[in-house]
Amino acid sequence: MSGANPRPRVLVVEDDENIRLAVSVELSANGLDVTPARSLAEAGQALGSGQFDCVVFDRMLPDGDAVNFVQQQRNTGWPVPVLFLTARDSVADRIAGFEHGGDDYLVKPFGMAELTARVFVLCRSSGKGRPVVLRHNDLEVDCARRQVRRAGVLLTLSDKEFAVLELLLARPGLVVPRAELREHCWDSSTDPLSNVVDVVIRRLRNKLGEPELIHAVRGVGYRLAT
């Protein structure tokens, strides 16, 4: 149909047949156009023959670690958002995924609903679909100008406050763990036992005012109020 928006295209690279099939079926059922691949070689062929809005990579594949493949792609200017799936759940592994060009990281076993939500967020953040302005209730965030307004009032945020708020906005309704906020918004030298995330969240809450937008999930992290 003329003028219709094409379905977002997702490449799923996973050598475990059961996981690959389950993920492909779930994403397809939610309206995504899914291409499956079993190896880095197949992923390279798929990327060479078509454009994608997101790629889901299993970390360890028969022909190598996907983080090295993604870093090589990033070095050529490849912009497609990447989500890594892995059983490796240490902080060092997650940091390595982000440092090598990953945009998100989900540890196995995972819930299909969470995977689907994260893939949709990455598809929206791709060059084709990313909105210039993010909105949540009466909050408006202009990513290009780095401006934030609440109920039309311009707020002044620090770089860290903006980074935390932007990540929370990218996951509407989902809990973002403290560790992930720290990994995204601070460098790897930050003490994992420090309370830098809580300090910035407290300042953000004060600046955003009432009604409170950022809710704490005890022992886990923070989410935006729905």
The pTM for the full model equals 0.56
Task: Say which CATH topology domain 9-125 has.
Answer: Rossmann fold (3.40.50)
Selection from 149, 123, 122 nearest residue 135 by Cα: 149
- Would you write out the chain's pLDDT as a tens digit for each of its 226 residues? 333 446 789 999 999 999 999 999 989 988 889 999 999 999 999 988 778 999 999 999 999 999 999 988 888 878 889 999 988 777 777 777 787 888 888 888 888 888 888 888 888 776 544 455 778 889 988 866 778 999 999 999 988 888 888 878 877 777 888 887 877 677 555 555 668 888 999 999 999 999 999 999 888 889 888 7
User: What is the crossing angle of helices 40-49 and 66-75, to 10°?
Assistant: 30
Long-range contacts from 17-22, C-beta under 8 angstroms, 24+ separation:
19/58, 19/85, 19/108, 22/112
Exposed/middle/buried for residue 60 (C-beta within 10 Å: 0-12, 13-18, 19+): middle
CATH class of 133-224: mainly alpha
Domain ranges of the chain: 9-125, 133-224
